[in-house]
Structure 1
């Protein structure tokens, strides 16, 4: 196909991510499908300098740092016929005007779920061996644990509670299957039959918390889930239990969690917090029962190429007149991240 016949695509994101999302080989594949200029990355839809490109754009390739796409942005792009997002959730950065105009939206949220699930699996396996706590003790005392210190350690039959059968939650369930865990699930939108198909037992939230050695959060941040783990529910986690949070800090009452962790009753692996980042004087930075990481579970570094591949694959389907594999529906956003 002559280059002039290719659809016009425009990037809209923080340009710092572009080289990792679309390394040379993938960028070449993208440019074989659409007329797109890597040097033109929109940061402001009202910028006169990008006006001509937007006026001609049929496809908007977005990513982290994309300005909000509202009615004004759509007026600047009258020919727009698809939004392909090289990132996770699209909630919060696209306006109802996009849905009202019937523009198809696609997201790489499924691709971004994989590294989060991998991080979670690692956290669960290490938590079951008390690797985080023993590392701190080893650094301080330089001695191996005595045999009697290891009675409660190990992953054989370890009880794991998953909160939320989201894309990440389902991927975590898949990754846990080869191991000798006892896995429970809380998700009010999953039936007993669907839970059985996922290979888990569906439990009420309070029961799941009380029955789990390790609790891992994978629910979306919605009004319904805000502070779902409050002081009362955190207290249900058994002594010595571990909370893993790679979802959103807003799902947990931060003061109640801090009190539980400072008291040493439970431990936590936290990739997300509220606020984010924590204040410099937060005690969680220094506590031996807290493994704190700076929101790294999602795609980073070379993992970003997986998101770019999703966009290119979706663009190929779009041009062929086929259904997008990762289409986002407006109704999906009610109960999604």
Structure 2
């Protein structure tokens, strides 16, 4: 006993690396991580362009995507999510639901090569519309008004085209009211009742999305997305959004972004009995990567700490651009 009395000796279990390991409460595994890819419709099969605001991430042709995924699968990649960049865009985002669109081709390619790789598709219109919004805007209208209900059938058509191509999961990210119900009904009515919907249920109008808009070439040409994405100041509203998506048929929920919204991840995890995912978004990636490249931080250590925090908050699946790096370096298995 110390001269100061009998008190808690927490350091006893921190004394060696082996002791720390056996009492560790949270661990990351390869199955916890999903990699995001940007696939470009192009006539150049060797197209591979580094994203300026996201060093180490690329826009890829179908051929280059296959090479990239091949290397990642060899190191343990279990799942990925696809974003498409078409040659042509229009006000209706018609390439989003083209059965031979770039994402649809990518799904068929990946599932043929790696049947056990879980391939998820982002269901949205923003990468495919000439105005950059996630929903339907009347042609020539620059007021910024996005029409909710007319958008739902287009999102449903997009989800069906992805399921027909072989997608394992469809993930609507548009934040239109009622889109989960529209997609779930369309899937069920077209013979895809077995395909799960992983809804971006709680998606904030975040400043952390900046680099993604360069990556996906989806910057709004007028207005902003604050009329459909959530106000970052709101917490209770997130529970309403999550509850609505579950009621409409969502099988999994995504909170986006991840790091600045750990309280929301925990709230969703505590309240709803479905798998919860979190998206460590482009801005989160770019800040860590930039600091790492400048030698200001130990990048690998900071990445692991950030992801452990997200998992500890309650996320069972984390979409992160660091997935390939962590697998290649053997930091997760």
TM-score (structure 1 length as normaliser): 0.27
TM-score (structure 2 length as normaliser): 0.27
